[in-house]
Copies of this chain bind each other. A is one copy, B any other.
Amino acid sequence: MPRPNTASLPTHEGLGERFRTARALTEALAAPLSEADATIQSMEDASPAKWHLAHVTWFWETFLLRDHLDGYALYDARWPFVFNSYYEAEGARIARFSRGMLSRPTMGEILDWRAHVDRAMAPLFERAELAPLIELGLAHEQQHQELLLTDIKNALFRNPLGPAMREEGAQSAYRQPGGWHTHPGGIARVGHQEAGFAFDNEGPAHRVLVEPFALSSRLVTNREWADFIADGGYETASLWLSDGWGWVNGEGIGAPLYWHEDEHFTHCGWQARDPDAPVTHVSYYEADAFATWAGLRLPTEFEWEAIARGQDGEDAAHDPTAGNQLDSAAPPLPRGSAGLFGDCWQFTRSAYLPYPRFKPAEGAVGEYNGKFMSGQFVLKGASCATARGHSRASYRNFFYPHQRWQFTGVRLAKDL
């Protein structure tokens, strides 16, 4: 469990409503899927949609109902074995790449379980001491909303027939303002420092020293990436990290994931690429090689956060709701906003490591973030698949440098 800023906790008012909204959104996201769509697993990194629906429910049932509601009996005592993700303290569990074997329980059984758990949760919203844990559960549910979308995209992509799970809607063209956010260097305060929920890995807030730098006000586009390819980017060893070069050649990589000729694969099937849209589905290795090719570099997580906090003297247009596409009831957003959030997660050159004095929480939820602090890189921002309000300036997403099935893109930086 994250170490909440107890002094500034959100009141528990509205928690129940937010819970119900989040739970309904998860189900709405899965609604266009057939039961078969929701069952398949395309790779070890990804999970079936049905499993996501069940796993988040296991989280509520385990850490809230089982641990904090007197007399609560597990809905099905065999299910923790199949719906626990990686919590060693919660015992043995199904091998990760066997999640795709779970044709049972059925979607109907899982939806019944969800309804049962949702009802059972009702009395807990009144208990202020549980609010931090419920906030964690909400954030967790939102993370799996995004994973559900990126995982099913990967699964449908693996089907040679290229099926769609949504109709293509009318879309405005991308407009990204050019220019640079500049920072004079100096001491910046980073990490979670406001009221409201944050994951344990966002704290403690602390000071860091940054050198003068500039951060691009826009994301790298598909057009620029096509230029990189045309210039032999994927065949030029000197642009790449050694591990990246091994990955490119070992895996036969020559373009972002989901690209094929002038199209790319989307939730709406194969579609023409918009050259002005931000490139997505690139790995850290690719992002770094592109930056080298461009004569620039990736920002550190601290540089990115300093700009996001408006410490550069400009209006950084920090709107963490921008770009959020999940909630179809919200008004449509212009694509390519001036802010740092939305469209895609942005790789930083910062390894995902603990902040000074970081301590993971006690108990099983202490496994949430801390144990992943080796070998991964921090991403900042939010993507088109991130739940509205989920991210913030201190948010630290993290993936391995070869992974690219998330909506990952590139925002460049340079020294001043």
- Listed in ascending order, the chain A residues whose CB lies under 8 Å from chain B are 34-40, 42, 50, 78, 81-82, 86, 88-89, 94, 98, 100-107, 155-156, 158-161, 163, 187, 206-209, 211, 237-238, 240-245, 284-285, 288, 349-351, 353-354, 356-357, 366-367, 371-375, 377, 401, 415
For A208, what are the chain B residues with a Cβ–Cβ distance below 8 Å? Answer: 209
The answer to whether B237 and A103 touch across the interface, beta carbons within 8 angstroms, is no
A160 and B40 contact, Cβ closer than 8 Å, known pairs A240-B371, A374-B284: no
Instruction: Indicate whether A81 sits within 8 Å of B160 (C-beta atoms), given known contacts A36-B106, A155-B103, A238-B89.
Output: yes
Residues in B with CB closer than 8 Å to A206 are 211
Copy number of this protein in the oligomer? Answer: 4
Question: A40 touching B243 by the CB < 8 A rule?
Answer: no
Question: Closest CB-CB distance, A232 to chain B, in whole Å?
Answer: 14
Chain B residues within an 8 Å CB radius of A163: 103-104
Chain B residues with CB under 8 A of A244: 374
Tell me whether B242 and A356 are in contact (CB under 8 A).
no
Task: Given A36-B106, A82-B160, output 16 extra A-B contacts at Cβ < 8 Å.
Answer: A34-B104, A34-B106, A40-B100, A86-B242, A88-B245, A89-B238, A98-B158, A100-B100, A102-B161, A105-B161, A238-B367, A243-B374, A243-B375, A244-B374, A285-B374, A374-B377
The 8 A-B residue pairs with the shortest CB-CB distance in the complex, in nearest-first order:
A351-B351, A88-B237, A36-B103, A36-B39, A101-B158, A104-B163, A37-B103, A242-B371
Chain B residues contacting A375 (CB-CB under 8 Å) are 243, 375, 401
**B187 engages A209 (CB within 8 Å):** yes
Complex: A206 Cα to B415 Cα, angstroms: 14
Q: How far is the CA of A288 from the CA of B377 in the complex (A)?
A: 18
Q: CB-nearest residue of chain B relative to A187?
A: B209
Which residue of the partner chain B has the closest CB to A350? Answer: B353
Some 20 contacts from A to B, beta carbons below 8 A apart, are: A34-B103, A34-B106, A35-B35, A36-B38, A36-B103, A78-B160, A88-B245, A98-B158, A100-B100, A101-B159, A103-B159, A104-B159, A187-B209, A206-B211, A238-B367, A349-B354, A350-B353, A356-B415, A357-B415, A374-B377
When distances are taken between beta carbons in the complex, the residues of chain B under 8 Å from A372 are 241-243
- Which residues on B sit within 8 Å (CB–CB) of A211? 206, 356-357
**In the complex, what's the smallest C-beta–C-beta distance from A155 to chain B, in angstroms?**
6
**Who on chain B is nearest to A377 by CB?**
B374
- What separation, in Å, do the CA atoms of A364 and B217 have in the docked complex? 34
What chain B residues lie within 8 Å of A161 (beta carbons)? 78, 82, 102, 104-105
A106 to chain B, nearest CB (A): 6
Given A104-B163, A372-B241, A415-B357: A40 and B37 interface contact (C-beta under 8 Å): no
A58 to chain B, nearest CB (A): 14
Q: Of all chain B residues, which has the CB nearest A79?
A: B161
Q: How far is the CB of A315 from chain B (nearest CB, A)?
A: 26
